Amino acid sequence: MLGCGTVGTQVVRLLLEQSEEFAARAGARLEVTGVAVRDASAPRDQAVPRELLTDDATRVATSNDLVIELIGGIEPARTLILAAFRAGASVITGNKALIAAHGPELYAAAAAAEVDFYYEAAVAGAIPVVYALRESMAGDLVTSVLGIVNGTTNYILDEMSTKGLSFDQALATAQELGYAEADPTADVDGLDAAAKAAIIASLAFHTRVGLDDVTVEGIRSVTAADIREAHASGCEIKLLAIAQRRDDDHARGISVRVHPALVPADHPLASVHGAFNAVLIEAQSAGRLMFYGQGAGGAPTASAVLSDVVAAAAHRVHGGQAPRESSYADLPILGPEAALTRYQVQLRVDDQPGSLAIVAGVFAEHEVSIDSVRQSAYVGGSRAVVTIVTHRAAVAHLEAAVAGLRSEARVLDVVSVQRVEGE
């Protein structure tokens, strides 16, 4: 074991407590031979026997059959994993940041050493999304994956939605409860979700997708007023990771992005509360598949790590190996302009005959099709608030339509433009 913090402690505890079960499943007894940490003398959970602790991570990485990396971050995790492969070890990790940044190098090193490389815990904690995409969907063509893959941001948005808290208040609560780190950047700015989106897209579309290929927007700008407006439209705001395949007259390739979006209240992702995660896979033959569960936390994440440990151990005993990286499709990675999304546009208009016709004409002129229109009286004169939800549109068309609306005298103000996902 490399690292013994939130997740590692639970992995050691379960390996020791349930050793008979794991021996039966793997076909051989699994012995924890060493646990490398930064400070071997620091006080820790009593589930971790002190005699196993060491600060010699290189020795642990290079003298075992299986190496479980739960340090996190890029270095020294990358160097230790590469050393483990060279020493003939199979590696299990939950390190999405490392895979999103250096996946191809790690897959190639594992293949060259003819060992296993597993990372179920890297995406959505306990939920078996990696297995589903890599193995269960091997007989199908995935068309899109839509997910809530960051528990911290879902917790914050849920607190804002259910308790009317501001972003800052909800973030402070998340930090008090230990969901958000003291430096919450990776979560609230969408970087953690983006790393997971890159892994999801690579697996779903058999194409190498790195962190730089993901268009990212976090949740810092979501306000309590945005949430109230979302409720008025029958929606919740969720931070979504979206991986989409496009193969139409305008674009061929994949679009991968992370951003907040309105989700209709009757969509399954809208009822994902607290720090839970959920992933919706759409595939040509299977249709829709929904996965839901705990995306973080020591024991739930340990469950995913241990499933990989059992698989890698069984290969040592009985032969066989983990599926290799599959990037044969090598689809083009499309830029943010290729994202096809529904939009909700809120306008303040002059409530006169013909205003709605003018608004509809602007959308039509820019090839944006309207799905629904709702008008509410605006207090204080002959003005109305019109809320328009579009069908899926390219961002360039939507932006052109919004610019056109701004130049119409009857349109007093474009109040907000928000993306809508989930149908």
Judged by CB, which is closer to ligand NDP: 36, or 405? 36
Q: Which does 71 bind (CB under 5 to 8 A by kind): ligand NDP, ligand HSE, none?
A: ligand NDP
Give the 3-state secondary structure of residue 406.
helix
Q: SS3 of 170, please?
A: helix
Task: Find out whether 415 is annotated in a ligand binding site.
Answer: no
**Should residue 301 be labelled a site residue for ligand NDP when binding is judged by CB under 6 A?**
yes
Q: Is 238 a catalytic residue?
A: no
Tell me which of 125, 218, 404, 422 binds ligand NDP, using CB under 6 A. 125
Is 147 a residue that touches ligand NDP (CB under 6 A)?
A: no
Q: Which does 152 bind (CB under 5 to 8 A by kind): ligand HSE, ligand NDP, none?
A: ligand HSE
Distance CA 140, CA 154 (A): 30
Residue 127 interacts, among ligand NDP, ligand HSE, none and using kind-specific CB cut-offs from 5 to 8 Å, with none
Residue 72 marked in a binding site: no
Q: Which is nearest to 209 in space by CA: 259, 145, 255?
A: 255
Q: Which residue is catalytic, options 44, 78, 102, 196?
A: 196
Among ligand NDP, ligand HSE, none, the one that 76 touches (CB under a kind-dependent 5 to 8 A) is ligand NDP
Which residues share a beta bridge with 54?
36
Residue 236: partners with Cβ closer than 8 Å, 6 or more residues away: 157, 161, 230, 262, 263, 265, 270
Least separation in angstroms between residue 1's CB and ligand HSE is 19
Residue of 95, 152, 215, 344 interacting with ligand NDP (CB under 6 A): 95
Q: What are phi and psi of 296, to 5 degrees?
A: -160, 180
Binder of residue 187, out of ligand NDP, ligand HSE, none (CB less than 5 to 8 A by kind): ligand HSE
* Dihedral sign, Cα of residue 21, residue 25, residue 29, residue 30: negative
x/- site string to ligand NDP, residues 270 to 299, per CB under 6 A? Answer: --------------------------xx--
Residue 8 contacts residue 74 (beta carbons within 8 Å):
no
Closest Cα to residue 260, out of 243, 232, 237? 237
Tell me how far apart the alpha carbons of residues 157 and 177 are, in angstroms, rounded to a whole number.
15
Q: How many CB atoms lie within 10 A of CB 304?
A: 29
Kindly state the tokens that stand for 17.
């407590």
Contact partner at residue 7 from ligand HSE, ligand NDP, none, CB < 5 to 8 Å by partner kind: ligand NDP
Please tell me whether 3 is known to bind a ligand. yes
Interface with ligand NDP (CB under 6 A), residue from 18, 21, 38, 335: 38
Asked whether position 72 contacts ligand NDP by CB under 6 A, the answer is yes
CB of 153 to ligand HSE, least distance (A): 7
404 binds ligand NDP (CB under 6 A): no
162 is in an annotated binding site: no
Partner whose footprint covers residue 264, from ligand NDP, ligand HSE, none (CB < 5 to 8 Å by kind): none
73 is in an annotated binding site: no
**Minimal distance, residue 248 CB to ligand NDP, in Å:** 35
Q: Residues touching ligand NDP: how many (CB under 6 A)?
A: 25
Residue 346 CB, nearest distance to ligand NDP (Å)?
37
Structure tokens at 216: 């990212």
State yes or no: 181 annotated in a binding site: yes
Nearest to 30 by CA among 50, 16, 47, 49: 16
96 is in an annotated binding site: yes
Q: Binding of ligand NDP at residue 175 (CB under 6 A)?
A: no
Instruction: Rank residues 96 and 419 by Cβ distance to ligand NDP and give the closer one.
Output: 96
**Does 182 sit near ligand NDP (CB under 6 A)?**
no
- Distances 409 to 124, 268, 335, 358, 406 between C-alpha atoms, Å: 48, 40, 34, 10, 8
Binding site for ligand HSE (CB under 6 A): 125, 150-152, 187, 192, 295-296
- Structure-block tokens of residue 173: 């609560």
The Cα 209–Cα 169 span in angstroms is 35
ω before 76 within 30° of 0 (cis)? yes
| Residue reference for tokens 């897209």 | 201
> Tokens at residue 186, please?
């990776």
Give the angle subtended at the CA of 306 by the CAs of 26 and 71, to the nearest 5°: 135
Least Cβ distance, residue 80 to ligand NDP (angstroms)? 8
Task: Give the DSSP letter of residue 50.
Answer: G
* Cα dihedral 269, 270, 272, 277 sign: positive
Q: Was 163 annotated as part of a binding site?
A: no
- Residues involved in catalysis: 196
Under the rule (CB under 6 A), what is the footprint of ligand NDP? 2-8, 36-39, 42, 57, 70-72, 76, 94-96, 121, 125, 296-297, 301
Which parts are annotated binding residues for NADPH? 96
